[in-house]
Amino acid sequence: METTSEVVSRLRQPEYTGENRCIPCTVTNIVIAVVLTGVLAFVSPPLAGVFAVLAAGSIWLRGYLVPKTPELTKRYFPEWLLAKFDKAPEPTPEPPSDFNPEEVLLEAGAVEPCADVDDLCLTDDFETAWLGRIEALEDEDALRDELADQLDLERETIDFETYGDAFIAHSDGEQIGQWESRAALLADLAAAKELPDWIDYWSSLPSQHRSQLLGGLRVFITDCPTCGGPVTTDTEVVESCCRSTTVVAVACEDCGDRLLEVPHQEPA
């Protein structure tokens, strides 16, 4: 024969009681119970008393009196009412329709107008956090682990190689990414780890927009992620078999690691 505590434990629904109690469900069912008790009181006061006790016990143990109340409140209650009980679904942050990397970084607080020149600079808080992420990835194993985690790959399948100035990552022999240098990869992985804390719709951004943000941030690096020396920005001419192209190169002055290379555009 079951004890009282065993019966109570069997009847209780933890998913709808305690910290998980649905307040709109409880309020709605209490109102229903009071109304029905009042109606029964005209017919039979003793019956109304029994019903009131059973109804209170059901609401206390199960979270509701009317079956499937949680599903009904979610479906039929307006969001403004659910919001008053903190039961409204959290809206998913959406990226701006007119995507502008500079505006996104400004709004996120990653960059701000420089104090002494007409340009943008990293904010102190973001720079400190970003550099901390970079330092944590300087070890080759940590770098491989982070790349595997961000691309959802097995770390054992990843290997790196350099080809000229480029730093290339492979997984099971297939190329999965190419950066201007190891320093550029360090900067990108560290930024991709940190930016979700600053941009609430980061997970909703397409990969192209994420790449634009990561590449744009490299322009603001002042100390090389690999050798620690100063970072300089220069224009240079790149020769190919067919033509010459002028590019803007952001590179580490001491070790020559290139952080970014983009086509040079003459001001209008």
Query: What confidence category does residue 20 fall into, taking pLDDT thresholds of 50, 70 and 90?
Result: low
Write the DSSP symbol of residue 223.
B
Can you spell out the DSSP letters for 9-66? HHH--GGGSGGG--HHHHHHHHHHHHHHHHHHHHH-HHHHHHHHHHHHHHHHHHS-SS
pLDDT digits (tens, 9 = 90+) for 220-247: 998 888 888 898 887 665 555 455 566 6
Percentage with pLDDT > 70 across the chain: 73
pLDDT value of position 90: 56
pLDDT value, residue 102: 92
List the chain domain ranges. 4-84, 101-223
Q: Is the pLDDT of residue 256 over 90?
A: no
Q: Which of 88-102, 136-150, 157-171, 194-208 has the lowest mean pLDDT?
A: 88-102
User: Across residues 165-179, what is the average pLDDT?
Assistant: 92
Written as six digits, the tokens of 88 are 């409204």
- When the pLDDT of each residue in the chain is averaged and rounded to a whole number, the result is 81
Indicate the pTM of the whole model: 0.63
